[in-house]
Structure 1
Amino acid sequence: MTATLIYCYDPMCSWCWGFSPTWTKLQQSLQGLIDSDQLTIQPMLGGLAIDSDIPMPEDMKYKLESTWKNIQITLGTEFNFDFWRTASPRRSTYPACRACYVARDMGSEEDMYHAIQKAYYLNAKNPSDLDTLTECAELIGLKADSFQKAMSHVKNEKLIEEEIEQARHLGLNSFPSLALLIGNRLTPIPLDYKNHTSMLETIKKALS
């Protein structure tokens, strides 16, 4: 029986950005299990914040910028704090989630995920905006027209909402989250943001 490692994330989750280097190392360390069909990795979108055109309140901007500073101090993660002064932020991550969902159908979910994170955290661009997401799509080789049509379809069919509901049903309520599904048994994998080794050992032990 092939086990499934579920990675629940939101592309605009700053802790997911902080976790990114360690998550990459963990995936690389799991490659042997993937190649031998013992394990598959399934991304799942968590959806931090619904669609909104309302400018972010000042107190929330301050809170989120403080979170970035905390992650930078704790993990050494790079951030471009110009975002909070130049990008007109909104509390809306569903568009970025849809972009990753669309890219998944086109075989490029991880590329889109990384493109959105870089646009947001390094280049101070706003992934709540369709223009930013379309630019990310083009950067990873997708066509703007087909991407935007697919974005509309995913929104109209509420496909992101379905996936978020599935994540909640599995108890994946924080981002990032890792859980190992073997048959009907779901085992949460405790996160270590600085070192992938403990997570790797937990997964291997569960598989054995």
Structure 2
Amino acid sequence: MSDSTLFYVHDPMCSWCWGHRPQWEHLQAALPESVAVKNVVGGLAPDSDKAMPLDQQQAIGGYWKKIEGMLGTQFNHDFWQQNTPRRSTYPACRSVIAARWQNAEDKMIAAIQEAYYLKAKNPSDTETHLLLATELGLDAEKFSADFSSEKLAKVFKQELQFARTLPINGFPSMVLQHQGQVHVIPLDYKDYRGAIKVITEIIS
């Protein structure tokens, strides 16, 4: 049983989370065994059928270019021409929870990010998630039923509420719970080792 938990608060459609992914993978591999990792979906933007205003599309497209320049992260900018973007990340969050119930949470997060940022697929569309579940070899029928279930809606709501109780300012964020205390872990997009050092000091 782990005596410490590292909460990773993210949104599958958060471009900074995509930028941080390589360092996050290194960090998880370097974590002491006594630290459990729990993903927490933060829910950037609720369900919406409205097309994203052009100025908002340009602003988000600008973040992509900034992250690309700063970290070398790849983005497929054709997304903006090939889709009707919507400010709606809740479907992607629900998809992550539905995949979690089939022990495929991390695989689904990666699949959503790659579909969105590399393949120009729209993760605001339910169809995208049903397709990804099939591609990942999940039980597609169970996934589809869970995705739109009351049970999942309830779990998602609780997770959003929990994320809001944590001392975070945005996504991604890392919070370590150790011996009943919570600690904000500094997040570096270029080097995970500082975070490992802080976590090791707290738990030792």
State the TM-score bracket (shorter-chain normalisation).
over 0.9
Distance of 1:29 and 1:154 partners within structure 2: 37
Distance of 1:21 and 1:156 partners within structure 2: 29
Alpha-carbon spacing, 1:99–1:73, altered in 2? closer, same or farther (3 Å)? same
How far has the Cα of 1:170 moved from its partner?
1.6
Please identify, of 52-61 and 144-153, the stretch whose mean Cα deviation from structure 2 is larger.
144-153
Alpha-carbon spacing, 1:155–1:81, altered in 2? closer, same or farther (3 Å)? farther
Correspondence 1:21 to 2:22: yes
How far has the Cα of 1:146 moved from its partner?
1.5
Please identify, of 100-109 and 169-178, the stretch whose mean Cα deviation from structure 2 is larger.
169-178
Q: Is the 8 A contact 1:4 1:181 kept in 2?
A: yes
Q: Which residue of 2 aligns with 1:200?
A: 196
With the length of structure 1 as denominator, give the TM-score of the two structures. 0.94
Q: Is the 8 A contact 1:12 1:127 kept in 2?
A: yes
With the length of structure 2 as denominator, give the TM-score of the two structures. 0.96
Q: Which residue of 1 aligns with 2:130?
A: 134
Q: Is the 8 A contact 2:98 2:152 kept in 1?
A: no
Q: Which residue of 2 aligns with 1:120?
A: 116
Aligned CA-pair RMSD:
1.3
Q: Which residue of 1 aligns with 2:42?
A: 46
How far has the Cα of 1:184 moved from its partner?
2.0
Deviations 1:160-185 (CA, angstroms, capped at 9, x unpaired) = 12101111012334100001101321
Distance of 2:152 and 2:197 partners within structure 1: 42
Q: How does 1:76-87 map to 2 (within 5 A)?
A: 76-87=72-83
How far has the Cα of 1:23 moved from its partner?
0.2
1:57 to 27, 49, 53: 53
Distance of 2:56 and 2:140 partners within structure 1: 32
Distance of 1:14 and 1:154 partners within structure 2: 29
Q: Which residue of 1 aligns with 2:9?
A: 8
Please identify, of 129-138 and 16-25, the stretch whose mean Cα deviation from structure 2 is larger.
129-138
Partner of 1:188: helix, strand, or coil? Answer: strand
Structure 1 unaligned blocks of 5 or more:
none
Structure 2 unaligned blocks of 5 or more:
none
Distance of 1:165 and 1:127 partners within structure 2: 23
Alpha-carbon spacing, 1:86–1:155, altered in 2? closer, same or farther (3 Å)? farther
Q: Is the 8 A contact 2:167 2:184 kept in 1?
A: no
How far has the Cα of 1:155 moved from its partner?
7.2
How far has the Cα of 1:154 moved from its partner?
5.0
Distance of 1:156 and 1:39 partners within structure 2: 27
Q: Which residue of 1 aligns with 2:180?
A: 184
How far has the Cα of 1:199 moved from its partner?
0.7
2:97 to 98, 101, 122: 101
Q: Is the 8 A contact 2:146 2:152 kept in 1?
A: no
The number of aligned residues is: 203
